[in-house]
């Protein structure tokens, strides 16, 4: 039985809103900002153990990982709470929490490498949400970004995300072979939600 849904996405594609609607419809737990908050809390508790290794942190990959963790809203990551952690420590913590969420089931997990960490989980269904640049800019502007800022974010955040996935997973992002569905959010949130639900139902029927 499928009871884990992962959502990888292009920045600004509206995946956070779509994930929330899917979690509501399925009555599953949403791991999006909640996951990032859990990562921050766990690393804050362990900060005494890693502060001494601060000087060994790779600033480049640390920055890439913050971009990788970032959800659909700019600045959603509690970056100040992760300031003492290096990228490897954050990655290990993220993997632990994602795998724990997958083990619990009945959840929708947004990004954070979940599609890659849980690729071999038989009860997981993986989707990728993308959108044309103009659609991403429109969505980001609706969240209060200026047009220039929206264009800059829509064209750069995913470059950082791709660089990190290449560094830590050894794959070329987004790696289409990892996903059951890839959907263009320009078709509308409700259409995306229904398509995902139909896909889940079809897979459940085949595997029953």
Encode pLDDT of 183-203 as tens digits. Answer: 999 999 999 999 999 999 999
Q: How far is residue 20's CA from residue 30's CA, in Å, rounded to a whole number?
A: 7
pLDDT one-digit tens code per residue, 134-154:
999 999 999 999 999 999 999
* Model pTM above 0.85: no
> Is residue 83 packed enough to be buried (19+ CB in 10 Å), middle (13-18) or exposed (0-12)?
middle
3-state secondary structure (DSSP) of residue 92: helix
- The class (CATH top level) of 4-207 is alpha beta
Query: How many other CB atoms sit within 10 Å of the CB of residue 145?
Result: 18
Residue 131 has pLDDT above 50, yes or no: yes
Q: How far apart are CA 96 and CA 102, in angstroms?
A: 10
Q: What is the DSSP string of 104-161?
A: H-SEEEESTTHHHHTTT-TTEEEEEEE--HHHHHHHHHHTT--HHHHHHHHHHHHHHH
The mean pLDDT value of the chain amounts to 83
pLDDT digits (tens, 9 = 90+) for 8-66: 999 999 999 999 999 999 999 999 888 877 877 777 655 444 334 333 345 555 555 55
Buried b (16+ CB within 10 A) or exposed e, 190-205: eebbeebeebbeeeee
pLDDT of residue 12: 93
What are the residue ranges spanned by the domains of the chain?
4-207
Task: Return left, alpha or beta for 28; rule: phi > 0 is left, psi -120 to 50 is alpha, else beta.
Answer: beta
Sheet containing strand 4-9, edge to edge, reads: 29-31, 107-110, 4-9, 124-130, 181-184
pLDDT digits (tens, 9 = 90+) for 53-102: 333 345 555 555 555 555 544 344 444 445 556 667 778 888 999 999 99
Residue-wise pLDDT tens digits, 150-167: 999 999 888 888 887 888
Name residues whose C-beta falls within 8 Å of residue 94's C-beta, 6 or more positions apart in sequence. Answer: 35, 39, 69, 112, 113
Residue 53 is predicted with a pLDDT of 39
């Amino acid at each position: 039985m499928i009871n884990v849904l992962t959502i990888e996405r292009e920045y600004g594609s509206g995946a956070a809103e779509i994930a929330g609607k899917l979690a509501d419809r399925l009555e599953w737990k949403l791991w999006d900002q909640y996951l990032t908050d859990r990562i921050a809390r766990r690393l804050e508790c362990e900060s005494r153990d890693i502060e001494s290794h601060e000087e060994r942190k790779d600033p480049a990959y640390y920055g890439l990982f913050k971009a990788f963790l970032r959800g659909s809203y700019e600045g959603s990551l509690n970056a100040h709470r992760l300031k003492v952690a290096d990228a490897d420590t954050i990655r290990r913590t993220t993997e632990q929490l994602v795998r724990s969420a997958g083990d619990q089931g009945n959840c929708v997990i947004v990004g954070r490498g979940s599609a890659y960490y849980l690729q071999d989980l038989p009860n997981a269904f993986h989707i990728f949400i993308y959108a044309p640049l103009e659609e991403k800019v429109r969505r980001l502007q609706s969240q209060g970004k200026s047009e220039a800022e929206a264009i800059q974010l829509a064209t750069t955040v995913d470059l950082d995300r791709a660089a990190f996935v290449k560094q830590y997973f050894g794959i070329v992002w987004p790696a289409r072979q990892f996903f059951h569905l890839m959907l263009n959010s320009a078709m509308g949130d409700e259409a995306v939600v229904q398509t995902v639900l139909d896909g889940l139902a079809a897979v459940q029927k085949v595997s029953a």
